[in-house]
Structure 1
Amino acid sequence: MTDSSDLARLRHIGWRDPALPDDPRRLARVVAQHRAGYEVHDGSVAFNAQPAGHFLKRGLDPSLRPSVGDFVLLDHANHPVIEEVLPRRSVLTRAAAGERYERQIIATNIDYVLVITGLDGDFNPSRIERYLTLVEGSGARPVVLLSKADTEVDVEGAVNALRARLPDEAAVHAINAKDPSTVALLAGYLGPGSSAVLVGSSGAGKSTLTNTLLGEDRMATAAVRTHDSRGRHTTTHRALLSLPTGGCLIDTPGMRELKLTGEENLDLFADIETLASQCRFADCGHSNEPGCAIQAALSSGELSPQRWRNYLKLHDEREEQAATLEARLKRKAGPKPVAKPKRGEWRRGDS
């Protein structure tokens, strides 16, 4: 029988199930990953743990290894060892930077992805669309936070311009990350048992917002550069933090490169794909063809040129990444074995 006190304790680290696993091993959540191993939390105390040997096998898919946000089972040895990763309810990934294709997990078991961008030189609706495309299929909901609303910018104009490019159900909030009164609206996303990951460029205000949510200056912050509104990487690794509101927040380093994985559906641009299906010709190239619904929408102002260009860019990148992923899987599977002919069976090339 599950002890209610155990559930209450684990709820502080984001455990949402009404019961505990039927397993004698120790349950904990990965709150940080370092070169020397992992830091985990069991709802009462944080401690270091090492991965079991099967997680270290060469060639193992990195997504099968423990990641920040994972609930894991550990043995009872003097030196805790992560033996099993429990099934994930959500996974946010991106393609790792560089030429080699590899999916990189940003966070797991999250309910919300808080996408923060500054209302200064950092404001870029196309990049926000890219973030929301990555969130698709993760199992988490995106929430766009426009920080630095206290600066001399047209906040209302920026919010309206962004809303015009996003689906109606997308949540958009303008905040001053330093002001607890404006940050209070995030409590609805960070209640007991809820988990969120905070993503955005360096200098957007992630660490400042995290400190305000914590009620203390725990995360290092730095001034942004005046010429491009970018900051230094004050957050160096992903870390899961328990908040006074009862929820959990995973803070991440600033991400300069956001590569699609090739598995996105581009649901964010469903309206554009609906328009494309209305073209006169099924193979319409959306340029000079007669009866092109895309060109008609661009001419009437129904579709903005910026959003159309960003859709094409993301679509092409998605297709390229999908082809790379398929080729990688084929190489990993290896060549198909050649079946030996049965006795007396003739095979082409035999003399």
Structure 2
Amino acid sequence: MTYEDLGYNTTLEKYKNEQNLNSFLLGRIVLEHKDRYTIKTPDNEFDGELIGKLRFTVQDRYDLPAVGDWVAFSEYDETKALIHAIYPRKSIIERQAVGKSGHIQIIATNIDYGLIVQSANRDFNLNRLERYLTICNASNVNPIIVISKVDLISNEELSFILNQINKRIKEVPVITVNNQENGYNALQSVIQKGKTYCLLGSSGVGKSTLLNNLAGSQQMKTAQISTAVNKGKHVTTHRELIVLNSGGILIDNPGMREIGITDTAIGLETTFETIVEYAQNCKFKNCTHIHEKGCAVLQGVTDGFIDEAAYQNFQKMEKEKLHFESDLQESKKKAKKFGKMVKNFKKQRGDTKY
């Protein structure tokens, strides 16, 4: 294995030289667990943690390593490591943190392609598919739709699903896979050496089975769908980066039942390009596309040029985005207020080093 097999490129090499990081070892985060990180090099794996300076200057989640990151580190005690710097990220896939208003959760970094997996027999949902597309588009990640378990439905049912996708989603590759012989050949053919792919989807859609087939070995446990509630079981419990024999790099994820949209207008504009194009012809620049007279978007829905379900989904995600932006601003105000309080406290006690 080489650094190129892990996704290393000339941009990262240039940064290393410019920042004088040549004295440090180089590796990629393949596993994250609280404040501990598994760092992979072509020859070894290290159990890493942040140096004190980095740990005490953290301001938000973006300042901490995530699966997919490249880091500069030093080795101690054979397989232990101290992380000194995080290399710049070319992409970040994120969502709203579950149960935490105004907070984000980083799913993975430095991703080239997002494999959006939905199962044909139980999980297929166009609205959810558009949510994943919005996350990918906002992150500058190329989406690929993967419909799994197509051997469990009829050809007529599969045709119906593909027609639904083609009607609402344009210019995004769609690949079908099944657990029969050669059922993953089409997906295998798009995996490129040195490129990083992130699996996105709910529990039970077959992400772990897909990973095992691409890897050619049992990398992840698999489980049956719960017959009691018809929901997938959480087999994957953490994010992990795996280098495939074919040369590609795959990041597996726990299933996501909630896919909250962050403050990413570009993602919505790319996913709902038709709606945005119609919005340019609205009578008012600040049109909400809900009730205004002269709204080109509403007229497009009425005339059948804009899919009504897509329009409703767009409105729902737009409201989520605005709500997240409001929560984010409130969180920043509270953090700023707390910072001033700490600073004043140190000043009052005579601590000049604040």
The answer, yes or no, to whether TM exceeds 0.5 is: yes
Q: Deviations over 1:1-36 (max 9, x none)?
A: xxxxxxx61112111227743312110111001246
Task: For 2:215 and 2:168, locate their aligned partners in 1 and report how far apart those are by CA, in whole Å.
Answer: 32
Show the counterpart of 2:313.
Answer: 310
Q: Deviations over 1:31-52 (max 9, x none)?
A: 0012461111101222322222
Task: For 1:41 and 1:287, locate their aligned partners in 2 and report how far apart those are by CA, in whole Å.
Answer: 50
Show the counterpart of 2:322.
Answer: 319
**Deviation larger for 298-307 or 16-25:** 16-25
Q: Specify which of 10, 14, 30 is matched with residue 7 of structure 2.
A: 14
Asked whether the equivalents of residues 122 and 228 of structure 1 are also in contact (C-alpha less than 8 Å), the reply is no
- The 5-angstrom pairing of residues 1-351 of structure 1 reads 9-17=2-10, 20=13, 21-22=16-17, 23-35=22-34, 37-57=36-56, 60-78=59-77, 79-153=80-154, 154-166=157-169, 168-176=170-178, 178-179=179-180, 181-226=182-227, 229-265=230-266, 266-267=268-269, 268-282=271-285, 286=289, 290-334=293-337
**Deviation larger for 146-155 or 275-284:** 275-284
Q: Deviations over 1:155-180 (max 9, x none)?
A: 121011012111x221111211x346
Paired residue total = 328
Relative distance call for 1:83 and 1:289 in structure 2 (3 A) is: closer
**Deviation larger for 84-93 or 52-61:** 52-61
Task: For 2:51 and 2:277, locate their aligned partners in 1 and report how far apart those are by CA, in whole Å.
Answer: 49
Asked whether the equivalents of residues 146 and 175 of structure 1 are also in contact (C-alpha less than 8 Å), the reply is yes
Asked whether the equivalents of residues 116 and 200 of structure 2 are also in contact (C-alpha less than 8 Å), the reply is yes
What TM-score results when the alignment is normalised by the length of structure 2?
Answer: 0.85
Q: Name the amino acid aligned to 1:174.
A: T
Q: Deviations over 1:189-229 (max 9, x none)?
A: 42211111101000010000001011112210110134664
Aligned with 2:150: secondary structure?
coil
Task: For 1:94 and 1:285, locate their aligned partners in 2 and report how far apart those are by CA, in whole Å.
Answer: 24
What TM-score results when the alignment is normalised by the length of structure 1?
Answer: 0.86
Task: For 1:191 and 1:289, locate their aligned partners in 2 and report how far apart those are by CA, in whole Å.
Answer: 48
Task: For 1:106 and 1:336, locate their aligned partners in 2 and report how far apart those are by CA, in whole Å.
Answer: 28
Task: For 1:314 and 1:18, locate their aligned partners in 2 and report how far apart those are by CA, in whole Å.
Answer: 34
Aligned with 1:329: secondary structure?
helix
Asked whether the equivalents of residues 63 and 103 of structure 1 are also in contact (C-alpha less than 8 Å), the reply is no
Asked whether the equivalents of residues 101 and 328 of structure 2 are also in contact (C-alpha less than 8 Å), the reply is no
Asked whether the equivalents of residues 279 and 291 of structure 1 are also in contact (C-alpha less than 8 Å), the reply is yes
The structure carrying a bigger helix percent of its residues is 2
Relative distance call for 1:19 and 1:308 in structure 2 (3 A) is: closer
Relative distance call for 1:328 and 1:18 in structure 2 (3 A) is: closer
Task: For 1:229 and 1:203, locate their aligned partners in 2 and report how far apart those are by CA, in whole Å.
Answer: 9
Q: Name the amino acid aligned to 2:300.
A: A
Q: Name the amino acid aligned to 1:68.
A: V
Structure 1 consecutive aligned stretches of length 4 or more whose deviation exceeds 6 Å: none
Task: For 1:60 and 1:180, locate their aligned partners in 2 and report how far apart those are by CA, in whole Å.
Answer: 50
Relative distance call for 1:288 and 1:253 in structure 2 (3 A) is: closer
Show the counterpart of 1:345.
Answer: none
Structure showing greater radius of gyration is 1
Task: For 2:40 and 2:120, locate their aligned partners in 1 and report how far apart those are by CA, in whole Å.
Answer: 35
Measured after TM superposition, the shift of residue 286 of structure 1 is 4.4
Measured after TM superposition, the shift of residue 319 of structure 1 is 1.0
RMSD: 2.4
Relative distance call for 1:54 and 1:331 in structure 2 (3 A) is: same
Relative distance call for 1:88 and 1:80 in structure 2 (3 A) is: same
Identity of aligned residues (%): 32
Aligned with 2:6: secondary structure?
coil
